[in-house]
């Protein structure tokens, strides 16, 4: 295997053409040459890797930046073009979502996990190290974005020239603004038939107060004007403020798990130097490790001798346990302690769901799979749980419904695990009324993530439900319908701004449980797919909540207990009863399915009993003979109903509990 290296890509391409006729074996790859190398020469890959010396990149020649945008505005496509332009990957027609390595990302066409790549770029005779982080665009993965921004000094804010500013564009801008990063607006997809870059420029100027002449107009798909993006990164994004002579301080901003090498930690170095053989200490666990490998992602792992302050790379140090690589942890050299970096705000789960193995014999395998996957996705919280019907399992906390679906899909694809996932719920709070209860729970305000543990009204002074501040951006012709939808979801309007002549930005305060399951789908249906939605946590507010039990012949089914708002209890109870009626097998006796709040029944469905025709032997005679047989049968059914237990089959639970695909 050979790598063709040259300063100035014309030189490298000349070598490539020459090499086509030479017997050099497999196809060559491209690489960037350090300043001290001869301008044109063919090196073997092993020699190239050995020669890659990260000390050749002074701090002033390093740029760390992220690409942020709304879903489907072209982040990953722009990343592909930047990789091609700097010679990091070969330019081929197959370069689509190069940094999206997960199967779920390629299937859904979305970025789920932030990915890092180090690019070597020659500009005006200087060799620059550009560390690129491609981030997700969906609201559920904003935690990935905020973590990525901690390793950067600037962002490329990509906006679709056809769609304009969307809800997540606004959210990502303010994430970067709060982190005091340089923002470079990039208007993408100018090649589209209906593209209107001037309109989008005006939107950016009005909403973000960024002058329109700072916007860069490109087509990432065709590669039009992408060179000016690289130029802007070098000119407008400042180099990192770091000190290489200080003791090592490295921030762990992401990690992956490899079953052969253990934990691979993605690190950003704020001070000092780290090299193979160094003994490092984790500020979080105080454990000492020996570094077995350091390197950069280019975009695949490329080992180097050392990593220096200001650079972003990976580090392997024999961490075998999934709890050892804490996201936000600070690593420092043994016997050279430093003050830990601030780290990150811990992710706040917005949605909770029960997860159980389909077969209890798979419990340990599923436990191992969840542990490994939560290392790669630290925003998932895990609590052990058990159920009479479904056995031992867990209650997992997610950042949103898409996050939950992607986690489940990754379990199936990467670990071949099959699970039962219950209906998602949100975390409620209850303020306890008596000092005895406060002493028992050791706090006045308790958080309830499992509806079965919802306390009775007599024990609390008030219930609190989580609320979020939602941002909806829509064409103005759909405004009326969307307002009606929001009011039906108990939302309170906070603001309404016209971005331009045709587009409106609405801000609403939503109860989280009203939007968590099917709000986004309803919004897309009402607006013909044009409206976009983003939300952020807004704390808790007082609410009239009730615990709704589902009874089968008078016995409560714990797995089906739900917490609902008082005004919506009847409609939700009726829907669950109807679903259960369709799922339960008929018995020899009648089954009453009831939804109850306390002792009050609010909805009922009945599964009719199998009936034997006891009148078949009556060929005539007096009516009293028939009445006598029917009465005896009714008494038998009544007795059977008292002693008969209704066993809910597991597949019936799955039908009732799991998120409805129609939603």
For the segment 109-128, what is each residue's pLDDT rounded down to a tens digit? Answer: 666 666 778 888 887 778 88
Q: Please tell me the distance from the alpha carbon of residue 172 to that of residue 176, in angstroms, as a whole number.
A: 6
Tell me which of 528, 543, 558 is where a domain ends.
Answer: 543
**469 plus 586 within the same structural domain:** no
Residue 378 is assigned to a ligand binding site: no
User: Is residue 10 situated within a structural domain?
Assistant: no
Q: What total number of domains does the chain contain?
A: 5
Residue 213 is assigned to a ligand binding site: no
Structure-model confidence comparison of residues 97 and 165, the more confident one: 165
**322 plus 371 within the same structural domain:** no
- Asked if the bond preceding 197 is cis, omega within 30° of 0, the reply is no
pLDDT at 249: 87
Residue 70 is assigned to a ligand binding site: yes
Per-residue pLDDT of 179-234, as tens digits, reads: 888 999 999 988 888 888 888 888 888 888 888 888 888 888 888 888 888 888 88
Kindly indicate the confidence band of residue 385, based on its pLDDT and cuts at 50, 70 and 90: confident
Q: Please tell me the distance from the alpha carbon of residue 330 to that of residue 599, in angstroms, as a whole number.
A: 54
H runs (alpha helix) in 150-302 = 167-178, 197-208, 227-236
pLDDT at 45: 42
Residue 121 is assigned to a ligand binding site: no
Domain that includes residue 599, residue range: 546-659
**328 plus 357 within the same structural domain:** no
Residue 71 is assigned to a ligand binding site: yes
pLDDT at 659: 38
**365 plus 318 within the same structural domain:** no
Q: Which of 21-30, 445-454, 575-584 has the lowest mean pLDDT?
A: 21-30
User: Is residue 39 situated within a structural domain?
Assistant: no
Token duo for residue 280: 């490092």
Cα angle 593, 596, 598 (rounded to 5 degrees) comes to 145
Per-residue pLDDT of 21-72, as tens digits, reads: 433 334 444 444 444 344 344 444 444 445 477 778 888 888 888 888 887 7
Residue 219 is assigned to a ligand binding site: no
CA distances from 246 to 242, 266, 286, 388 (A): 9, 21, 20, 57
Residue 655 has pLDDT above 60, yes or no: yes
Instruction: Decide: 313 and 297 in contact? Cβ < 8 Å.
Output: yes
Residue 282 is assigned to a ligand binding site: no
Residue 28 is assigned to a ligand binding site: no
Residue 95 is assigned to a ligand binding site: no
Assign residue 280 the CATH number of its domain: 2.40.30.10
Residue 276 is assigned to a ligand binding site: no
Residue 452 is assigned to a ligand binding site: no
Per-residue pLDDT of 616-630, as tens digits, reads: 677 777 778 788 877
pLDDT at 652: 64
Within 10 angstroms of residue 193's Cβ, the number of other Cβ atoms is: 5
pLDDT at 163: 84
Instruction: Give the predicted TM-score (pTM) of the model.
Output: 0.69
User: Is residue 343 situated within a structural domain?
Assistant: no
pLDDT at 109: 62
Q: Please tell me the distance from the alpha carbon of residue 380 to that of residue 371, in angstroms, as a whole number.
A: 10
Of all residues in the chain, the percent with pLDDT exceeding 70 is: 80
| Mean model confidence pLDDT for the chain | 78
**473 plus 602 within the same structural domain:** no
Within 10 angstroms of residue 46's Cβ, the number of other Cβ atoms is: 11
User: Is residue 649 situated within a structural domain?
Assistant: yes
Residue 72 is assigned to a ligand binding site: yes
User: Is residue 277 situated within a structural domain?
Assistant: yes
pLDDT at 509: 93
DSSP string, 423-479: PPB--EEEEE-SHHHHHHHTSSEEEE-SGGGPPPGGGEEEEEEEEEEEEEEEEGGGH
Tell me which of 489, 521, 543 is where a domain ends.
Answer: 543
Residue 565 is assigned to a ligand binding site: no
**535 plus 562 within the same structural domain:** no
Structure-model confidence comparison of residues 107 and 313, the more confident one: 313
Of all residues in the chain, the percent with pLDDT exceeding 90 is: 3
Q: Please tell me the distance from the alpha carbon of residue 437 to that of residue 432, in angstroms, as a whole number.
A: 7
Assign residue 355 the CATH number of its domain: 3.30.70.870
User: Is residue 552 situated within a structural domain?
Assistant: yes
Tell me which of 364, 386, 421 is where a domain ends.
Answer: 421
Instruction: Decide: 200 and 159 in contact? Cβ < 8 Å.
Output: yes
User: Is residue 538 situated within a structural domain?
Assistant: yes
Residue 136 is assigned to a ligand binding site: yes
**143 plus 278 within the same structural domain:** no
Residue 422 is assigned to a ligand binding site: no
**565 plus 652 within the same structural domain:** yes
**267 plus 189 within the same structural domain:** no
**230 plus 158 within the same structural domain:** yes
């Amino acid at each position: 295997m050979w790598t063709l290296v040259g300063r100035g890509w014309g030189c490298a391409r000349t070598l490539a053409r020459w090499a086509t006729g030479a017997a050099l074996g497999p196809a060559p790859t491209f690489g960037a040459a350090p300043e001290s190398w001869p301008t044109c020469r063919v090196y073997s890959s092993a020699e190239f890797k050995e020669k890659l010396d990260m000390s050749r990149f002074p701090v002033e020649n390093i740029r760390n930046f992220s690409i942020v945008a709304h879903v489907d505005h072209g982040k990953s496509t722009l990343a592909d073009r930047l990789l091609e332009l700097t010679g990091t990957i070969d330019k081929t027609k197959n370069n689509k979502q190069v940094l999206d390595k997960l199967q779920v990302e390629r299937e859904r066409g979305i970025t789920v996990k932030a990915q890092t790549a180090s690019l070597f770029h020659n500009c005006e005779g200087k060799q620059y190290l550009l560390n690129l982080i491609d981030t997700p665009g969906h609201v559920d993965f904003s935690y990935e974005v905020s973590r990525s921004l901690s390793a950067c000094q600037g962002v490329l804010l990509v906006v679709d020239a056809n769609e304009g500013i969307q809800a997540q564009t606004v959210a990502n801008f303010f994430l970067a603004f709060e982190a005091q990063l340089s923002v470079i607006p990039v208007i993408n997809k100018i090649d589209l038939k209906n593209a209107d870059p001037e309109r989008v420029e005006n939107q950016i100027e009005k909403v973000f107060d960024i002058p329109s002449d700072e916007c860069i107009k490109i087509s990432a798909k065709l590669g039009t004007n992408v060179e000016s993006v690289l130029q802007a990164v070098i000119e407008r994004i400042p180099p990192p403020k770091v000190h290489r002579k200080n003791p090592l301080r490295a921030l762990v901003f992401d990690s992956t798990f490899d079953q052969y090498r253990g934990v691979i930690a993605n690190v950003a170095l704020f001070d000092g130097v780290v090299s193979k053989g160094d003994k490092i200490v984790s500020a979080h666990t105080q454990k000492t490790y020996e570094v077995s490998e350091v390197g950069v992602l280019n975009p695949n792992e490329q080992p180097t001798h050392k990593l220096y302050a200001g650079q972003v790379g990976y580090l392997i140090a024999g961490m075998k346990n999934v709890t050892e690589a804490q996201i936000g942890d600070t690593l420092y050299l043994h016997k050279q302690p430093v003050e830990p970096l601030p780290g990150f705000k811990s992710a706040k789960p917005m949605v909770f769901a029960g997860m159980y193995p389909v077969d209890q014999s798979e419990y340990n395998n599923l436990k191992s799979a969840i542990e490994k996957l939560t290392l790669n996705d630290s925003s998932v919280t895990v609590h052990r749980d058990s159920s009479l019907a479904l056995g031992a399992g867990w209650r997992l906390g997610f950042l949103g419904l898409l996050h939950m679906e992607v986690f489940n899909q990754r379990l199936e694809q990467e670990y071949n695990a099959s699970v039962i996932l219950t209906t998602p719920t949100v975390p409620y709070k209850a303020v306890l009324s008596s000092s005895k209860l406060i002493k028992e729970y050791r706090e006045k305000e308790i958080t309830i993530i499992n509806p079965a543990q919802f306390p009775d009204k007599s024990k609390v002074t008030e219930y609190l439900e989580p609320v979020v501040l939602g941002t909806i951006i829509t064409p103005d012709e759909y405004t009326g319908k969307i307002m009606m939808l929001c009011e039906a979801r108990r939302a309170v309007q906070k603001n309404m701004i016209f971005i331009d002549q045709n587009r409106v930005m609405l801000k609403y305060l939503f109860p989280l449980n009203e939007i968590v399951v099917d709000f986004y789908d309803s919004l897309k249906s009402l607006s013909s797919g044009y409206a976009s939605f983003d939300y952020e946590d807004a704390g808790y507010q007082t609410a009239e909540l009730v615990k709704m039990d589902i009874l089968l012949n008078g016995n409560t089914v714990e797995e089906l207990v739900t917490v609902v708002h008082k005004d919506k209890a009847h409609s939700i109870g009726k829907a669950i009863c109807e679903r259960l009626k369709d799922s339960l097998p008929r018995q020899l006796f009648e089954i009453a399915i009831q939804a109850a709040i306390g002792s009050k029944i609010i909805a009922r469905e009945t599964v009719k009993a199998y009936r034997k025709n006891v009148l078949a032997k009556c060929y005539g005679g007096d009516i009293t003979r028939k009445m006598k047989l029917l009465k005896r049968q009714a008494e038998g059914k009544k007795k059977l109903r008292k002693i008969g237990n209704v066993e809910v089959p597991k597949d019936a639970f799955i039908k009732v509990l799991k998120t409805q695909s129609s939603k």
